[in-house]
Structure formats: C-alpha cells, structure tokens
Structure 1
Amino acid sequence: MISPTNNAHRRYFVDAAGRRVLIGLTCEETFEFERLDSELVLGPARGQTEPDGRDVWPAAGEQRWLQLYEKHEGAWKAWLVQNRSIS
C-alpha cells in the first residue's frame, strides 16, 4: 500500500517574484511550456506512422514543447541526483 503522505519532490521552485518556475527552465520558458501544454493535443510520437502509412512529424508547437520538456527533464534528473542524499 502506498503511504498517504506526500513525499514527492516538486518539479518547480518559486522565484523571487512568487512565480512557479519549472526546474531547468526560465520563467518565460515555463510560461511558454505551460501555454503550449494547454494548447496541444499530442498525437503519435515522431517516427511513428498513421494507419495509412504516412509518417507523423510534430507540428512546430509540439516540437517546441518537446524541446522545453527535454530541457526540464534533464535538469530535473540532475537535480534528483544532486539532492539524493537530502531526501
């Protein structure tokens, strides 16, 4: 059974202006990521094909979302390693 306590690390920090910023991203990038995230309906991943055999390539907004996600995910993983002894 999973404990009801919330021990998960947050993937963001609060900056001096009180804004929530994703680890590894700037405030502006976080805003852009969240805007894109709310607008996108992500389809099949790049490299997959549609049922009719056409290749699927992400739209520009999805490509940018992926770039920001990868930047955040890399920084998040590095943060976890760096702070492993704290938890």
Structure 2
Amino acid sequence: MTDLRNNAPRRYFVDAGGRRVLIGLTLEETFEFERLDSKPVADLSEGQVLRDGKVPWPAAGEQRWQELYAKHDGAWKAWLVQNRGERAVGFSLY
C-alpha cells in the first residue's frame, strides 16, 4: 500500500518573517493551536474531556482547539478548491 502522507499538500505557509503559519490562522493563532494540540492533561477532576477516547484534555482548551481547527480547516478546504484548477492547468507528465 502506498503511503499518501507525503503526497498531501502542506497545511502551512511561510509568512513574510519566515515563520510557518497554518492556512487561515494568524501567527498567534497557529502558536496557540500548536500549544493546545501538544498539551494533554492527566487529571479528569476539573471538567475535562477525553479526546479520541484516550488522552484527557481541559474542556476549555478542547473547545478553543476545535474553534481554531474549524477556522483552519475551512480556509484549507477553500485553498484546495482554489488551487486545484491552477495545478490541473500547469500539470504535465511529458
């Protein structure tokens, strides 16, 4: 089976300062999203939720993560549609 992960377009762009920013988010939102995405919490006692049924996350952090992801994902899908036509026109095997 072919590994398709390397064939997917990257979801980041490089801003004028040379920093990676998620499509549809600001630099600050990208930083916040990545911080929330990499920070599991081990205590379920204070209103936390389970993400993917495995790793506990704070409910407020999970909600903000979902907001940022939804914003990014919407912009990402629009970017794909916009660029799909450009790639098809410039695509040539020979």
Query: TM-score higher than 0.5 here?
Result: yes
Higher relative contact order (CA 8 A, sep 6+): 1
| CA deviation after TM superposition for structure 1 residue 78, in Å | 0.5
Report the counterpart of residue 27 of structure 1 in structure 2.
27
* TM-score after normalising by structure 1: 0.73
Higher strand share: 2
| CA deviation after TM superposition for structure 1 residue 12, in Å | 0.6
Higher helix share: 2
Query: Moved runs in structure 1, 4+ residues, more than 6 A?
Result: none
Deviations, residues 61-82 of structure 1 (Å, cap 9, x unaligned):
1100000000000000010011
Report the counterpart of residue 61 of structure 1 in structure 2.
61
Task: List aligned pairs for 1:4-83, cutoff 5 A.
Answer: 6-40=6-40, 43-44=50-51, 59-83=59-83
Q: Which runs of 5+ in 1 are unaligned?
A: 46-57
How many equivalent pairs are there? 75
**Kindly, what percent of the aligned residue pairs are identical?**
74
| CA deviation after TM superposition for structure 1 residue 40, in Å | 3.1
Q: Distance in 1 between matches of 2:51 and 2:11?
A: 25
Report the counterpart of residue 92 of structure 2 in structure 1.
none
AA in 1 matched with 2:25: L
Q: Which runs of 5+ in 2 are unaligned?
A: 42-48, 53-57, 89-94
CA RMSD of superposed structures (Å) = 2.5
